[in-house]
Amino acid sequence: MKMAGESQRIIFYPSQEPLPTPSPFTFSVAGSTTLSLSSQPAFRYANLFLRFGGFLFSFISAICLVFPSPQYRNYEPSTFLNTAELTYCFIVSILASIYSAYQLFKGVCDIAYRARFISDKMSDYSSFILDQLVAYLLISSSSILVLTIHRIIPTTSVWKSAVVSASMSCITFVIIAISTLQSGYKLCKRLIW
């Protein structure tokens, strides 16, 4: 029988390590400050890498539609301007590459000069909204491009360039979607936390 004033004795053996407790009081203020400062550049560099990938793949998608592979047979030369769907996909790819180049430029300025190209609050809102808009345009143009590929003759150079452009556009969509998640996280962090 245990008495009210009696304390319980805990025995630790040398081979047994104490378990860490998830207490907010275990970290000092200086430790949390260095933790937040060291994780911020990694977040910015990841965002910069994603923006560069979005620019690269959307630019390749647009270039593939403009410069199809050379034709070796005596077919009538065809370009993306002959089909309205391919023209739409070209315009969306150009818009996505311009937007990604702008975000890349803004990210480089933020990292290199430690200055803000635009205010943080405005940047978070505009990045979140424009990322979603560009992602929607990319997925709609990719789906239209896939349907258009089935109507083009498979031996033409436009067919080959449309297939490459569709794959690059899908990769760009995935990259912009990840960027949208990051900008949504930043916006939620600003609003809620």
Q: pTM higher than 0.95, yes or no? A: no
Task: Please tell me what DSSP assigns to residue 193.
Answer: -
Q: 3-state secondary structure string, 23-37?
A: CCCCCCHHHHHHHHH
Q: Does residue 147 surpass a pLDDT of 70?
A: yes
Highest mean pLDDT among 42-51, 68-77, 95-104: 95-104
Task: Please tell me what DSSP assigns to residue 78.
Answer: -
What are the sequence ranges of the domains in the chain? 120-192
Lowest mean pLDDT among 71-85, 135-149, 155-169: 71-85
The predicted-structure confidence for 85-99, as pLDDT tens digits, reads as follows 888 999 999 999 999
How many CA atoms, within 13 angstroms, populate the side-chain half-sphere of residue 146? 9
Average pLDDT rounded to a whole number, residues 97-114: 88
25 vs 19, 28, 51, 99, 148, CA distance in Å? 15, 7, 38, 44, 60
Average pLDDT, the chain: 78
Q: Is 2 helix (H, G, I), strand (E, B) or coil?
A: coil
